[in-house]
Structure 1
Amino acid sequence: RYSYVAERSGRPARRLFDLAKDPYQMKAIPRESIDKDLLASLEGQLRQWLAKTKDPFQLA
C-alpha cells in the first residue's frame, strides 16, 4: 500500500506515498502525519534489503 523513497538529491531525503490514494506518487505524505511505527518498519525493511542485496547505497 505504501511506497517509501530514500534518495540523494535536492529533495527531502525520504518520502512516503500512499499508493491507494496516490498511485502516481505525486504528493508525499507530510512527515508529521506519518505513523512513527509504520515509518520505522519501512525503514527497517529498506535497511534489511540493502544489507541482503549488498547495495552500496547509504542511508543518512
Structure 2
Amino acid sequence: MFGDPLDWVRRRLGHRSVVTTLVYLHTLAELEMETRMALVPGGWDLPVDVVDETAAVA
C-alpha cells in the first residue's frame, strides 16, 4: 500500500477530517484490548520468573 494508510481509511469511511477517523480507530483499539483481556483466564498468574523479578524490584 502506498501513501498514508490513515488517509486511505478516512477516504473509505467518507470522513472529511482525519480527526474523526482517529476517534473511530481509538475506539477500536480500546475494544481490542477489552476483548483480549476478556480472553485471559481468571486463574491466570504471572510466570514464576516474572514474579521473582517483580519482587526484586519492590
Q: TM-score, normalising length from structure 1?
A: 0.36
| Greater helix content | 2
Higher strand share: 1
- Greater relative contact order (Cα 8 A, min sep 6): structure 1 or 2? 1
**Which of 1 and 2 has greater Rg?**
2
